[in-house]
Amino acid sequence: MLESGCRSPGRLNSCSDLSLERGMHIGLCLLVALLLLAGPVKAGDDLQKRIDFAAELQINEPGSNLNPVIDQLLSDIEQATPGQQVSIRLLAARNLGLQGRIVEGLEFIDQILAAEPEPGQRLTTYRLSANLAMNLGDYERAFADLMEAVALIPETGSPFEETNLYGLASYFHGLAGESFSAISYAQRSLESAQETDNPRLACLAYGRLTAAFEADDRLIEAEQSGRQGLSYCEQTDDPVTTGWIHALLASVLISLGELDQAEAMIAQATANHSDVYHQGQLNSQRLLARLMIERSQFEPALEKLDNLISAYEKLALWERLAEVHWLAARAAASLGQTRLAYDHTLKHIDARERFLSNERALRLAYLEVEFASKQREQELMLLREQARVESLRRETIEQQALFRKFAYGFGLFLLLILLLLLLHAVRRRRHFQHLSRRDGLSGLLNHTSFFEAVEQTMGKAQRDGQPLTLLMADMDHFKQINDRHGHLKGDAVLRQTAAGLANTFGKQSLIGRIGGEEFAVCLSGVTIRQAAELAEKLREDMGTTTSTIGRPVTMSFGIAEMAAGENLDQLRKRADDALYQAKRNGRDRVELAPARQGE
């Protein structure tokens, strides 16, 4: 393979020589292509060779400029067969997508579909269209085209297309948060790839499976899958995909604490993506910064992260931007730069909210397409039945009344089914609306939903003359848990704490996670003394319970009881003040807010 010699960290000069050799190779390929295109078009076979050459160049030389090659093919498109015309437009659409000109690429896709090509080319077209639409943010079209492509698989029977399509389906479902479906599609992609002798297909399939396993926190399986995929990638001349596998493995190895192995993988990913794949280079730099932080090399990590932040902002990659801001906040906090850490934390929250907004839109599009597909199936059933009834009506006038009754009865039956399906869809929509009000880590109410519910409960309690108590709780020294044991352990501690709150205060209370390690509980019909007893019981239980980090963790509590005429902001401030007093008094304690003046 062309760049196999530049993966060793000590071979920088050799890497430079090979990069030059690669550039000469790309230039030579383009020169040959232009010489081929400059000559007269002799016959269909000659045009097909030029199409195949451009397709091979597009895969094996991703850094080359194919515009002159594809422009010449487009100028000769009238001399091509219908199948060749589809191939040329697919090349043009894919090339525009690689250049970021996605809308123009989709215009070529629409031209292809309007010509109604044969099933194999139609499947390829829908697959590329789904990919382009996803990158454009048109999630509804992306999922709709993906489903169209999947429906064509039985008509094509091509392991090559099945591998690529199932891999794309795995990627899409992973973005939509459907981890089980993402892993399932990735495994089907791998099964299809293993029916061929194509190492690049196996490399891609293993890469998708590795990404799906990592997203589902199945890190051991992710490492095994990544290493198997790497053995196939190294048999190809595809530096982009090989570098992608190296980067996936590096991320998994960092999570597993195998830092030296991760560093070697990052170096190989960087070498493979050098001067070829810009986002791949950024990904390698992000992994390197993450590795530096794990090794407590905070200052060089901050410098690298500053460069990544500006790059990800330009690309509007919100998930990556949120991650690098969080890494920068960790590094700054470790250096004692509190203000900088605070600024990065705020920017992390903003970027993550943008990412989650995109994720919600993507998931909604997925559900809408799924429901639309079911509706279309029902509509097709209804049309077929109406046609059958019409045919029977023509056979005999004497049976017309009978068949009309049958059609009406069947129509009512279908209407009932559609109503049931609609009811099911409404319930699912409500379910996902319910999920949007919950904190994804702990399962408790999130900040906004919790205080909205508290405000409503306060109004009812004031009207009914019932007591109401607000409890604010904050985990002690939680940052040290994250720094010492890692965020995965920290997340496990948060989930364990949330379960303890739910067990202690019961289902009749409102419980929310309102910040990183901060929780809140609203108890209607409960006095401050009763709430204090419950909080004290929870505090004592936590002190005698071994957490997921191997030792007990503690919490500080501040409690305030609603006074007559008091609003939410006033009640919350008194509970917060009591919490801060608990922190000042040594933590791991319960403090009660004094009664409001003027009661």
495, 518: one domain: yes
570, 520: one domain: yes
Q: How many structural domains does the chain have?
A: 3
- Judge whether residue 571 has pLDDT over 80: yes
369, 397: one domain: yes
Average pLDDT, the chain: 81
Please give the pLDDT value at position 266: 87
Q: What is the DSSP string of 59-79?
A: HH-TTS--HHHHHHHHHTGGG
Report the CATH number that the domain containing residue 471 is assigned in CATH: 3.30.70.270
423, 488: one domain: no
- Nearest-5° Cα angle at 496, 332 to 334: 10
Q: How far, in Å, CA of 6 to CA of 246, rounded?
A: 14
In a domain, 97, yes or no: yes
Give the end of a domain, one of 157, 184, 213: 157
In a domain, 88, yes or no: yes
Please give the pLDDT value at position 505: 93
**pLDDT tens per residue across span 67-113:** 888 888 889 888 889 998 999 999 888 888 877 788 888 999 999 99
**pLDDT tens per residue across span 5-48:** 333 323 223 233 323 334 434 444 444 444 444 444 444 568 88
- Judge whether residue 493 has pLDDT over 70: yes
Q: How far, in Å, CA of 9 to CA of 508, rounded?
A: 60
Give me the domain span that covers residue 80.
54-157
- Judge whether residue 306 has pLDDT over 90: no
486, 582: one domain: yes
In a domain, 386, yes or no: yes
Q: Please give the torsion angle defined by the CA atoms of residues 203, 207, 213 and 219, in that order, rounded to the nearest 10 degrees.
A: 90
Q: Could you give phi then psi for residue 474, rounded to 5 degrees?
A: -140, 130
In a domain, 597, yes or no: no
Report, as an integer, the average pLDDT of 238-248.
86
380, 499: one domain: no
In a domain, 583, yes or no: yes
- Judge whether residue 445 has pLDDT over 90: yes
